[in-house]
Every structure is written in C-alpha cells, then in structure tokens.
C-alpha cells in the first residue's frame, strides 16, 4: 500500500475554514487530520464539535479526528455524529483503553491510539491487534509548528517491528513537525500516514505541497 497524506487543518485560516477544507479535500490528500484540544490533556484549546460538524459538510474525504482530550470516552459518540471517520484517542488519556476502542468500533469508526514522545512504544503491545491506526507523536501535543523530535525516527522503526510481531494491521501515522524536507526519511523509517500542518499551510501553494508529499515513494 502506498502511504497516505493527512494535512492537519489546525494550521488553516480559521476565518475561511470551509474554503481550506475544500482545498485539502480536492488536492489529492487522503484524510483531513482534525486536532481537538481540550485545555486539560494539553494546555491549549482548539475547537470542538460544531466546528468538526461544519468541516464535515465541506469535506469529500474522511475526517481523521485526533482527540487531545482527557477521558475521551465521554465524547466518542458525539464526534462520530459530528462526522469523524477515524477517531484517535491518547493512550495517556484513557484508563480503559480497550473498552474505548471497542466503543469506537461499535460506533462504526476506525480506531486510532496516539502516544506521546515519552511513552514507551511497548505500552501499545496489547492494543495493537485491535486498532487501525497508531498516531505516533513526533512533537509534544498541543501546538502546530513545532520541530520534529529526531528520536522519533527510531520510535517509528521500533513500532513497525512491534506491529509485525503482534500480527497487527495498524497503520503508523506520524504527527508533528512533518515537512517537505524530512517526509522522505519519515517514510523510510516506516510511516504509513503523514500528518502535516504548518508544513502544508506554511507553503505559498498548500495544494502543491500536498501533491509533493503524496508523490513521495514509501520505502
């Protein structure tokens, strides 16, 4: 399978969110990455349910909703109703992770589990066979525009090995600091899904940047 590109809408112009969602969904991107921050799990706040619902109305591609939210199980059905196709919750935010993953599946969405840069990869071992996506954070969650943490490359390779060992089909989504100039090495390390916010929207032609990411070849 070739890799997927999931531009993060967090870096769009929120005065023109419908326009930017339409641009992403007609640019050859595979998913739109939607970062929800609650001011508790992460210090920052972004946007919530009504905004996700509005984005859905302008998108023709799946919404990949990344919940940086404490106790995310409180909101799973709400985000599914708002239009989430992939729902990703943080391992660090959820005590009953397996039950939450079951709930996501029951709602009819794909389940993702995100892990912070300091969380050991092996903590995913039990959940890997049950999920469709691992969102490996390559920055500390909370803000767009941060630099890729270099140690993330070896975390991607170690995660890929663990996925193989556990007979999991989970895709490795890399989130944070992914830019045109480091995306190839991230793919070479084993990434399946590239999330990029400022790396796309910081370019003079964001649609062309999405195409450039899409045209890279997976190792």
Residue 198 found at the interface with ligand DX5 (CB under 6 A): yes
- Residue 204 burial by Cβ neighbours in a 10 Å radius (0-12, 13-18, 19+): exposed
Instruction: Indicate which single residue of 30, 132, 173, 175 sits in contact with Zn ion (rule: CB under 5 A).
Output: 175
Residue 90 found at the interface with Zn ion (CB under 5 A): no
Per-residue x/- mask for Zn ion, residues 64 to 83, rule CB under 5 A? --x-----------------
Question: Which of 35, 38, 64, 85 is flagged as catalytic?
Answer: 35
Maximum C-alpha span of the chain = 46
3-state SS, residue 77 = helix
Residue 56 found at the interface with Zn ion (CB under 5 A): no
Nearest 5°: phi and psi at 89?
Answer: -120, 155
Annotated catalytic residue 130? no
Q: Which does 152 bind (CB under 5 to 8 A by kind): Zn ion, ligand DX5, none?
A: none
- Residue 216 gets the label, from left (phi > 0), alpha (psi -120 to 50) or beta, of beta
- Residue 115: beta bridge partners? 136
What is the Cα–Cα distance from 16 to 37, expressed in whole angstroms?
20
Per-residue x/- mask for ligand DX5, residues 176 to 195, rule CB under 6 A? xxx----------------x
Task: Residue 45: count other Cβ atoms within 10 Å of its Cβ.
Answer: 13
Annotated catalytic residue 175? yes
| Binding region for Zn ion (CB under 5 A) | 35, 66, 175
| Binding region for ligand DX5 (CB under 6 A) | 8, 10-11, 33, 35, 66, 139, 141-146, 175-178, 195-199
């Amino acid at each position: 399978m070739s890799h997927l590109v999931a531009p993060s809408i967090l870096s769009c112009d929120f005065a023109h969110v419908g326009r930017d969602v339409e641009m992403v969904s007609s640019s050859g991107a595979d998913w739109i990455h939607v970062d929800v921050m609650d001011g508790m799990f992460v210090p920052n706040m972004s946007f919530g349910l009504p905004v996700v619902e509005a984005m859905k109305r302008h998108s023709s591609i799946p919404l990949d909703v990344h919940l940086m939210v404490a106790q995310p199980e409180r909101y799973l059905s709400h985000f599914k109703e708002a239009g989430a196709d992939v729902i990703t919750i943080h391992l660090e935010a959820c005590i009953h992770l397996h039950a939450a993953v079951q709930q996501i599946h029951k709602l009819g969405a794909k389940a993702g589990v995100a892990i912070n840069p300091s969380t050991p990869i092996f903590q995913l071992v039990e959940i890997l066979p049950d999920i469709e996506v691992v969102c490996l954070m390559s920055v500390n969650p909370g803000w767009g525009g941060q630099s890729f943490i270099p140690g993330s490359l070896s975390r991607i390779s170690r995660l890929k090995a663990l996925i193989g060992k556990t007979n999991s089909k989970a895709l490795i989504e890399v989130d944070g600091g992914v830019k045109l100039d480091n995306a190839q090495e991230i793919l070479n390390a084993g990434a399946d899904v590239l999330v990029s916010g400022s790396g796309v929207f910081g370019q003079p032609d964001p649609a062309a940047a999405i195409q450039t990411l899409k045209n890279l070849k997976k190792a």
